[in-house]
Amino acid sequence: MNRYPLWKNLLIAFVVLIGLFYALPNLYPQDPSVEVSALRGARLGDAQKADIQAALKRAGVPYKRVERRDNGRLLVRFSDSEQQLRGKDVIASTLGDKYGVALTLAPDLPAWLEALGAKPMYLGLDLRGGIHVLIDVDMDAAVEKALERYTGDIRTRLRKEKIRYITVSHDSHGLSIRFRDAASRDRAEEVVHKAFGSLILETAEQGKDFFLKARLSPKEIREIQKFALEQNITTLRNRVNALGVSEPLIQQQGRRRIVVELPGVQDPSRLKEILGATATLEYRLVDTEHSVEDALAGRVPVGDRLYRDRNGRPMLLKKRVIVTGDQITDASSGFDQRTGQPAVFVSLDSQGARRMRNVTTENVGKPMAVVFIENRTTTVMRDGKPVKVKKRVEEVISVANILEPFGRRFQTTGLESSDEARNLALLLRAGALAAPIEIVEERTIGPSLGKDNIDQGFESVVIGFLLVVVFMAWYYKVFGLVADVVLVLNLVLIVAILSMLQATLTLPGIAGIVLTVGMAVDANVLIYERIREEVNVGNTPQSSINAGYEKALSTIVDANITTLIAAVVLFSFGTGPIKGFAVTLFIGIVTSMFTAIMGSRALVNLIYGRRRVQSLAI
């Protein structure tokens, strides 16, 4: 009567073994570490590894080991945070600015656990430490960028319609087109109104000049600002995801601000450099009609701009940009089939593809340049104090003749290595920032504070667990000990599932686990009280056990389903900490139903199922 079939016992044993295996990584400590990555064009190999080891030895900084990660980066492990900070300074000064050096925490897992894919669960900002930043989006710059695009488009339209004009300029208030006669202005007004109907047009005269002025409508300004905010949120989220930060929180706050919370990040300056950096491409035509030497002497032609390639050679390019990074919808790295050189394959949106097709159709046989642009903010030491230095890198990476018209998809070459091609493709896929950003508030939670939170949360779980264990063992005797065993198993399964899902544990999540510890024994209490009732009415011990589990099942399922519904609602409509609480609550309820019903029944069957008993210790 009280015996499980073999398959059910094997299923329970399998679940227990899997739970123990995936919960095991959480018992291993996390080493304070320094992660070294190669920046654009640099290489990270055995030579750099040897340099790091030699520099740390010379500086007298002890370290555990230097290892190569699967992503091609180097990880230097230390025993404590003090050695980690000293090691970071030594490594940064040794390798220079061609390499990125960031603080991190790395679990010290055995190789066999890593090979089987077992990882510890992530810890949230309040447990692991990390950074909270509030970012302000420069909406004026977004509008300025839109006006700049309109300026270039209007110039192109007027040239196409063969309308003579003196200048087309823009400022923060709008665009201004200057003409020599009223007829040209009136004709241009018709063309601009037809092509750009959203612009508000006005005419004016000043001396002998005739002006056509255009400004954005309030509705369009709002749409531009809204798009800039949404684009920046998407871009920042893509960049953070590419960095591998677990469970980042990136969301809008108000009309022009973004909140970013990144758990586990110990180097705020490095993070801000990554968030604020922009890497994109611009495609421009090469000016072959004017002299580069004249431009170097200070006589840069109107409509041109002087650039340099990676070797420092000067080049004269048109100011008008054909397409920019924010019009790139996809990018992937590979190799040019003709030359075998690293290449980035770019896809444009409909507007960018149409503009690229028009320009390449009109300029077949002429050279077109690809300009790489990157905004960097680096931290340097001056007079013993950290100082932020902003640097804008603009260099021509490729110049090639337009052999035939092309539009939506094409390739860019001229990159130094396949690693650089992959990094550029990654940043292009993440997208360019639609408007500049500024970090207006920063709060950093150090690992020590996170450790205090972990210790307090662990103590709360242990205290709640021990109180339940003692009460159950005292009140229900042998059956209470069975409930204690499955309660331990329940905690193991919760941790295992969080680790398998790579979910993030926060303080509210710990609260959910503490609540689950108290609720997990509810099912056993219902079952044991039912068994007591069956014994009191004169049923045999074996039939009482069977009746207790079967008759209490419907009540247990009903009670837990209502709680599951509440957890789902909390997760669906909650944000941040509420979601963390809902996740652990949901997982805890599911595992407690499995352990309380199937797990405890299997142990009771093992104790009482194969022998005759006259009474039950309950």
Tell me the DSSP string of 416-477. S-HHHHHHHHHHHHH---SS-EEEEEEEEE-HHHHHHHHHHHHHHHHHHHHHHHHHHHHHHH
> Band of the pLDDT at 169, cuts 50, 70, 90?
confident
pLDDT confidence of 378, banded at 50, 70, 90?
Answer: low
Which has more confidence, 94 or 125? 94
Q: Three-class SS of residue 412?
A: strand
| Poorest-pLDDT segment among 147-156, 285-294, 407-416 | 407-416
Q: Give me the torsion for CA of 417, 419, 425, 430, rounded to 10°.
A: -150
Q: Among positive and negative, which fits the CA dihedral 497, 502, 503, 504?
A: positive
The yes-or-no verdict on residue 269 having pLDDT over 60 is no
Q: 103 with 88: CB under 8 angstroms?
A: yes
Residue of higher predicted confidence among 270 and 167: 167
Max mean pLDDT among 101-110, 165-174, 243-252, 376-385 falls in 165-174
pLDDT of residue 15: 92
pLDDT digits (tens, 9 = 90+) for 57-72: 998 989 988 988 776 7
- Distance, in Å, from the CA atom of 102 to the CA atom of 35, rounded to the nearest integer, reads 5
Q: Which CATH number fits domain 30-108: 3.40.50.150, 3.20.20.70, 3.40.50.2000, 3.30.70.260?
A: 3.30.70.260
Please name which of 117, 106, 30 lies closest in space to residue 69, comparing C-alpha atoms. 106
CB atoms near residue 351 (< 10 Å): 11
Mean pLDDT computed over every residue of the chain: 81
Q: pLDDT confidence of 299, banded at 50, 70, 90?
A: confident
177 burial level (CB within 10 Å; 0-12, 13-18, 19+):
buried
CATH 2.60.40.10 fits 6-25+446-608, yes or no: no
Model confidence band, residue 501 (pLDDT cutoffs 50, 70, 90): confident
What pLDDT score does 153 carry?
82
- pLDDT of amino acid 583: 87
518's CB contacts (< 8 A; 6+ apart) are 464, 468
Please give the Cα distance from 423 to 89 (Å, whole number).
25
Average pLDDT over residues 557-563: 86
Residue 432: what residue type?
A
Cβ contact 330:429 at 8 Å: yes
Q: How far is the C-alpha of 133 from the C-alpha of 248, rounded, in Å? A: 12
Mean pLDDT value of segment 531-537:
86
Specify the pLDDT at position 272.
Answer: 61
140-218 against 277-444: fold identical:
yes
pLDDT at position 196 over 90: no
Cβ(293)–Cβ(156) below 8 Å: no
Q: Model confidence over 588-616: pLDDT tens digits?
A: 888 988 888 888 888 888 888 777 777 77
Q: Contact at 8 Å (CB) between 259 and 267?
A: no
Question: Would you say residue 35 has pLDDT above 60?
Answer: yes
Alpha carbon distances (Å) from 109 to 26, 30, 283, 415, 525: 9, 9, 47, 37, 39
Which amino acid is present at 232?
A: N
Burial 449-467 (b: 16+ CB within 10 A, else e): ebeebbeebeebbeebbee
Structure confidence at residue 451 (pLDDT)? 64
φ, ψ dihedrals at 331, nearest 5°? -155, 135
pTM of the predicted model as reported, rounded to 2 decimal places:
0.59
Tokens of 33: 């570490």
Q: Could you tell me if 427 and 279 are in contact, meaning their C-beta atoms sit under 8 angstroms apart?
A: yes
Locate the domains of the chain by residue range.
Answer: 6-25+446-608, 30-108, 140-218, 277-444
d(CA 117, CA 96): 34
Q: What is the DSSP letter of 309?
A: B
Third-level CATH fold of 140-218: Gyrase A; domain 2 (3.30.1360)
Please give the average per-residue pLDDT across 464-476, as a whole number: 85
CATH fold of the domain at 277-444: Gyrase A; domain 2 (3.30.1360)
Q: Which residues contact 269 (CB under 8 A, 6 or more apart)?
A: 379, 386
